[in-house]
Structure 1
Amino acid sequence: MKQFLCVLLLGAWSASALASPALRGDVIADLNALQAQLQEGALSNVVERATAQAERLSAGNQADRWASALYQQLAAGALARQEQPGPAADRLATARQLEGIDSAQAARWLREEASLRRAAGQRDQAIELLSEWLASHQDIDATWQLTRLLAQQERWEEAANWLDQALEQASDLNQQPDENQQALMLAVYRNAGQSDQALSYLLEGLNAESDAIQWRQAAGLAQQAGQAGVAAGLWEMAWQLGKLTQSEDRWLLIQLHLAGGTPARAAEHLEQALGEGNIVRDETNLRLLANAWRQAKDVERALNAWQALALQTQSAADWRAYGQLAYAWGKDDQAQQAFAQASALGDEEASQWLASFN
């Protein structure tokens, strides 16, 4: 940033002077001498001399005011090199506000001042200046900068509006946002409550070559957008492609399928993990499996899973639940056996169910 600002401020006055009021020879010589000192690093001398000259000439005629503005620019360049972007920005603000300054040059100084304000951490002022600049200029870099500044200030809706413009300009220029811009886009749309927008963008770019982070981001955005089924589908695809391989990834896949309306796939993944010994065959996991098959309405697998759970826990409540499910699905023999087990364990409600078979 420091080097960039110095490039902006070093020697720009000489090019601008060609289209501006004619300067006296002694003023041009003095400006050239100060520019040489600036390049040599005599920064304090430049600031002192340029400040004195700028103040002396500021109330003069149009040529004097133009010279005053150029002295302020040289002072700004020296201050920027001294890592004082705030005071440097103040000098450019003074320069562009002098009466009679060429509007095009004033606009360039406005843009440079915005960069200095941003470097100084003066975000609100930088936002105001960049907004003013972009009102009359199409500048994709400035649009991205403004979007980031607004995001840093948590002004999410405004950031989303400028982000739309940045993406539109990038499309017109056949540019693809880089990784930092993509991260900014996701953060802005998510916090602005526009997860659908971010998800749509991510889905366009997802393919077998996309990395795990991109798949995770897409699934996360789908969840935030209330599209649990899409989230489950994305996580499933990433799992099948080998992008997600950890045990916690499998667990989240199971949960996403349950939430997304595909409990059979959740049960299949859970059953596979149990069969491979990747998860413990305990009460919690057997109950999750039984409920998943029940939600999937797979009669045989659900009843088998509930029987396995009841055998594991030897709980009267589980035997009764197994019996009720069997009864609801017309499996009377299994229901009667389950109620008998529950009744033997002291479940009075199961005894009443059992009595209905007699």
Structure 2
Amino acid sequence: MNRLRYSLSVLGVCLVLSAGAAHAQQAINPGVFSALNSAQQAQEAGDHARAESRLESALEQAGDGSLERALVEQRLGYLAIARDRNAEAIDWLRKALAHDQLSDEAARQDRINLAQLLIMQERYREAVTLLEREHAQEALSNQPKRLLVQAYSRLQQYSKAIPIAEQVVAVEPGVESSWYQLLAGMNQRLERYREAERWLKVLLKREPENTQTWRQLAGVQSQGGRQVAAAATLRLAYESGIRFSASDLDNLVALQVRAGAPWQAARLLQALLDEQLLTGNATRSERLAQLWHQARDHERAHAAWLALASRSGQAEHWLRAAGIQLEQGQWDQLLSSLKQAEPGASAEQRDLIRQWQQYAQNALAVGNS
């Protein structure tokens, strides 16, 4: 805020001091000109009350629609900025611009400053309207483009924000890292995963030790259906000295689950286990089997439940495998799995086992008749 106030205040000084030359064809009331200078001196000395008093006095001398009135209202706007009265500053600058008396250059800069104030007040649509109009008349420089990107992104108009943001980083490749993060994030929101990946890789070249960026890159690759690439990214990060906690990696899988993509979640978990980035254990083996099952990948789910059941010996796991065998009409395998499940089965599970055994035996009898 202090930086904005300083830059806008300096701009205001330049506009006031140059206004006479810019509008030499119009005589400025000497009393108003003196009041403007006096108010400027008071503001520079930190005496805002005296500056306001001088400007209010000058306002009474300035005629409606005149250059003098536009200059006084403009100065009142910049004085309001210096006093952290942004809503008041917006009103004054709008009044000054409405007279259409300021030079084209001065008015354009005032409108850009007005847009920045509107953004600070979270009035993003009004700011966008101003900046789009200026951009249509003459291409904005990078600083106003930054404002336009900010307003678009706050309005979630990412498809409009992205090309302008790309122009910003093209002109200023050394721009703050947050701009590359913004570009990645907006593309990710639009499910443009390859583009998001591109910007994250640019960011990693600048900040190769940023754990969060590595994690986000893997997440974007996984969201884009490239789970093996995501695991490879995490492996590369690991080899570069980046250490992820098991919960970080488990959360990447959970993101896919929450997105309603169990197949992608299973594929990512399998890749992380294959890369030995996650340690295989009973909990993760069960989760992997459940994810393949949810994804209706019967072959992988069946293999996962059988492998888990063989290790654990739990009736629940054998019954999970048996359920797939039942669906697929694999009667011999079903009877074998049910037999394995019997020793540790609960009373309820034993009832289910008997029902399935009878069903499988009847199906086999029919098939052999």
User: Can you list the C-alpha shifts for 1:207-261, whole angstroms capped at 9, x where unaligned?
Assistant: 692522113323333455xx22x14422442145324532224435667797349
* Aligned ranges 1:1-358 → 2 under 5 Å: 1=1, 2-21=5-24, 22-23=27-28, 25-59=30-64, 65-135=66-136, 136-152=138-154, 154=155, 156-157=156-157, 159-171=158-170, 173-192=171-190, 194-203=192-201, 205-206=203-204, 209=208, 211-224=210-223, 227-228=224-225, 230-242=226-238, 243=242, 245-251=244-250, 259-260=263-264, 263=267, 266=270, 269=273, 279-280=281-282, 284=286, 287=289, 295=299, 304-309=307-312, 311-313=313-315, 317=319, 320=322, 338=337, 341=340, 346=354, 347-351=357-361
Shift of 1:319: 7.2
- Closer/same/farther in 2, CA of residues 90 and 232 from structure 1, 3 Å limit: same
Provide closer, same or farther for how the CA distance between residues 253 and 352 of structure 1 changes in structure 2, counting only shifts above 3 A: farther
Secondary structure at 2:208 match in 1: coil
What 5-or-longer segments of structure 1 have no aligned partner? none
Distance 1:96 1:304, change over 3 A: closer
Structure 2: unaligned runs, 5 residues or longer: 344-352
Q: Shift of the alpha carbon at 1:20?
A: 1.7
Aligned residue for 1:18, secondary structure, equals: helix
The 1-side partners of 2:132 and 2:34 are apart by 37
Counterpart in the other structure of 2:350: none
For 2:110 and 2:320, how far apart are their aligned partners in 1? 77
Any idea what SS the aligned residue of 1:131 has? helix
Q: Is the 8 A contact 2:266 2:292 kept in 1?
A: no
The one-letter amino acid paired with 1:234 is A
Partners of 2:165 and 2:268 lie apart in 1 by: 43
Which position in structure 1 is the counterpart of 2:349? none
Specify whether residues 122 and 11 from structure 1 end up closer, same or farther in structure 2 by C-alpha distance, changes over 3 A only. Answer: same
Please state whether the residue corresponding to 2:244 is helix, strand or coil.
coil
- CA deviations 1:58-113 (Å, max 9, x no partner) are 348xxxx2232222222222222222122222222222222443222221222222
Q: 1:190 to 1:32 in 2, by over 3 A?
A: same
Letter in 1 for 2:161: W
Cα gap change, 1:38 to 1:195, in 2 (>3 Å): same
When the two chains are superposed, the root-mean-square deviation of aligned CA atoms in Å is: 4.5
Change (3 A) 1:209 1:100: closer
Q: Contact (CA 8 Å) 1:218, 1:234: kept in 2 or not?
A: yes
SS of residue matched to 1:73: helix
- TM superposition shift of 1:13: 0.9
Q: CA deviation at 1:263?
A: 4.9
CA distance in 1, matches of 2:252, 2:148: 38
Tell me, yes or no, if the aligned pair for 1:270 and 1:289 is still in contact at 8 Å: no
Task: Report the AA paired with residue 86 of structure 1.
Answer: A
Q: What is the TM-score when the length of structure 2 is the normalising length?
A: 0.71
- Residue-by-residue CA offset, 1:3-28 (whole Å, 9 max, x unaligned): 33322223531133222225355544
Kindly provide the CA deviation profile for residues 146-178 of structure 1, in whole angstroms up to 9, marking residues without a partner as x: 2212322x3x23x4313312312431x252442
Structure 2: distance between partners of 1:76 and 1:85: 9
Give 1:206 deviation, angstroms: 4.6
Q: What's the CA shift string for 1:296-351, capped at 9, x where partnerless?
A: 5998x986555335x332777357569889x97xxx9x888657656996422454
Shift of 1:42: 2.5
CA distance in 2, matches of 1:239, 1:89: 53
1:147, 1:163 within 8 Å by CA — same for their partners in 2? yes
Runs of 4+ that moved beyond 6 A: 253-258, 270-274, 289-294, 321-325, 342-345, 353-357
The SS at the match of 1:10 is helix
Q: Which amino acid aligns with 1:134?
A: H
State the TM-score, normalizing by the size of structure 1: 0.73
